């Protein structure tokens, strides 16, 4: 029995199940430890039946006439029930509600930042409460807030579903989003491509390759290569060779001259 805290005037929690001598009725319907019905016995006889087996007489149906009692180990029974409740609580999925706030005149950069926060919340299987805050005369244009919420729900349709449509309460307009079935089933991984969309089954290696192949990280040399490919071939126009090739050609006659002078000296 838990010890009550100081200044806590509430009575301590007590087990209301009646066992053994706490059963005051004259007769009970007895069930033995194997689940077989013994029949209606006097309470003293039923208690003796349980004590012979070193077990407890537990009242399981006090509303019945006569009450139903069962022979069992009550301490073991309470322990098993506590373990069942503990396991059920462990496997129970807890849903956390996150909230993020927008303004009707939000800039594009701020919108993208807050949208990424909503994406992160949905990937963690949390519900998201999106709030549009109106100030001053902005409350006379609720269509702006509705447009932002509809746009957000459309762009995040792969990750979340709209659980509660946009609803205006005073100066705030709220919308509730919940994780989609794909997110809850684990079919959507942490995969984000360059345009901000999320693909199903994307992994970090695919994300890295997508980032490398994206035009945003293409080196500026590619533009020069495209321009050079558009020009006619240097060999067809009779243009001068490249500086490195010219240097190689310039060194060749000098080597030929040196070898010729060496042959003359030997002769």
> Is the pLDDT score of 154 beyond 90?
yes
C-beta of residue 31 within 8 angstroms of C-beta of residue 57: no
Nearest alpha-carbon partner for 157 in 188, 124, 193:
188
| pLDDT band for position 156 (cuts 50, 70, 90) | very high
- The Cα 121–Cα 124 span in angstroms is 5
Residues paired with residue 178 on neighbouring β-strands, in sequence order: 161
**Across residues 240-255, what is the average pLDDT?**
46
> Is the pLDDT score of 195 beyond 90?
no
pLDDT tens-digit series, residues 84-107:
988 888 877 777 899 999 999 999
Averaged pLDDT score across all residues of the chain: 75
pLDDT tens-digit series, residues 102-124:
999 999 999 999 999 999 999 99
pLDDT tens-digit series, residues 45-81:
999 999 999 999 999 998 999 999 999 999 998 999 9
In terms of pLDDT, which residue wins out, 198 or 55? 55
| pLDDT band for position 1 (cuts 50, 70, 90) | low
| pLDDT band for position 202 (cuts 50, 70, 90) | very low
CB atoms closer than 10 angstroms to residue 114: 18
| pLDDT band for position 2 (cuts 50, 70, 90) | low
In terms of pLDDT, which residue wins out, 193 or 232? 232
pLDDT given for residue 238 in this prediction: 46
Question: Quick one: residue 7, left, alpha or beta (phi over 0 = left, psi -120 to 50 = alpha)?
Answer: left
- Residues listed for the chain: 267
pLDDT given for residue 185 in this prediction: 85
C-beta of residue 191 within 8 angstroms of C-beta of residue 202: yes
């Amino acid at each position: 029995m838990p010890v009550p805290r100081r200044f806590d005037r509430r009575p301590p929690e007590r087990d209301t199940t009646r066992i053994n001598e706490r059963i005051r009725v004259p007769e009970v319907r007895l069930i033995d430890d194997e689940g077989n019905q013994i029949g209606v016995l006097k309470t003293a006889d039923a208690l003796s039946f349980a004590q012979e087996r070193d077990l407890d007489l537990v009242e399981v149906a006090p509303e019945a006439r006569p009450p139903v009692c069962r022979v069992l180990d009550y301490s073991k029974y309470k322990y098993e029930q506590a373990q069942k409740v503990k396991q059920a609580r462990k496997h129970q999925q807890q849903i956390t509600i996150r909230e993020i706030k927008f303004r009707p005149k939000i800039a594009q950069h701020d919108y993208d930042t807050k949208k990424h926060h909503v994406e992160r919340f949905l990937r963690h299987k949390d519900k998201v409460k999106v709030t549009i805050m109106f100030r001053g005369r902005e409350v006379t244009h609720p269509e702006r807030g509705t447009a932002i919420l509809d746009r957000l729900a459309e762009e995040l349709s792969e990750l979340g579903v709209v659980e509660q449509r946009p609803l205006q309460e005073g100066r705030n307009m709220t919308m509730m989003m919940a994780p989609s079935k794909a997110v809850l089933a684990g079919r959507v991984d942490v995969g984000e491509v360059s345009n901000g969309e999320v693909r199903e089954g994307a992994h970090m290696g695919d994300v890295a390759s997508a980032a490398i192949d994206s035009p945003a990280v293409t080196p500026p040399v590619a533009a020069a290569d495209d321009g050079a490919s558009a020009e006619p071939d240097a060999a067809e126009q009779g243009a001068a060779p490249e500086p490195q090739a010219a240097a190689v050609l310039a060194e060749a006659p000098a080597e030929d001259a040196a070898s010729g002078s060496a042959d003359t000296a030997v002769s």
